[in-house]
Amino acid sequence: MIRFVMKGLRKFRKDEGGFMVVEFALAIPLIFTMFMTSVELGIYTTRQMFLDRGMDMTIRQVRLNTAKKYTHAQLKDKICTFSGFLPDCASQLRLEMKEVDVRGFTGFGGPADCVDTSQPVTPLRTFTNGGDHSVMLMRACYMFDPVFRLNGLGEGFTKDGAGHAKMVSVAAFVQEPR
């Protein structure tokens, strides 16, 4: 019996028919993972660019219209309008804004304050308007759904309880005098 099994194994080892099947089966998942990661990275980069553009355009309006005191909702609407490509922006974006002391600079304490739809609603952590010549720091956190949640880069994102990944944009500006 052992001699019969050994003879069959030797014959199997010498046979070269169908030898590419193993390499193909091992390489295809790797190639598809790399493809999905590149698609996810391209979409992430595009969303980040649109979020940064929305922040820049909004901050330009805030900086030049110092007399008007914008609320969180107004700034959020402006960022979403200027961004354009961010799906469900109105409910997935949260802003923080504070005045900065230029002599003793401290940034935002802790991680970005983001929307978590799986948790109860939490109040805004920091949102204060500045006056003339005030140095302001604004941070936006946008929660999004990865395209491929369970593969490649989509799997590597840190996600909240609802499965959303976060994207953060920070900008500083000085309010112009009236």
Sketch the domain layout of the chain as residue ranges. 19-174
Enumerate the β-bridge partners of residue 166: 143
Q: Answer yes or no: is pLDDT of 15 > 70.
A: no
Query: Coil, strand or helix: which one is 3?
Result: helix
Of 98, 99, 102, the residue nearest 113 (C-alpha): 98
* Contact (Cβ atoms closer than 8 angstroms) between residue 41 and residue 124: no
How many H helices and E strands in the chain? 5, 3
C-alpha to C-alpha distances, 43 to 47, 55, 74, 96, 148, nearest whole angstrom: 6, 18, 27, 25, 11
Give pLDDT, residue 58: 92
Return the exposure string of 13-49: e unless at least 16 CB atoms fall within 10 Å of the residue's CB, then b. Answer: eeeeeeeeeeeeeeeeeeeeeeebbeebeebbeebbe
Q: Answer yes or no: is pLDDT of 82 > 90.
A: yes
* Averaged pLDDT, 104-130: 68
In the chain, the percentage of residues whose pLDDT exceeds 70 is: 85
Give pLDDT, residue 49: 95
* Averaged pLDDT, 45-71: 86
**Secondary structure element (H or E) that encloses residue 99, with its range:** strand 93-100
Query: Coil, strand or helix: which one is 141?
Result: strand
pLDDT confidence bin for 120, thresholds 50/70/90 = low
Q: Which residue has the higher pLDDT, 52 or 108?
A: 52
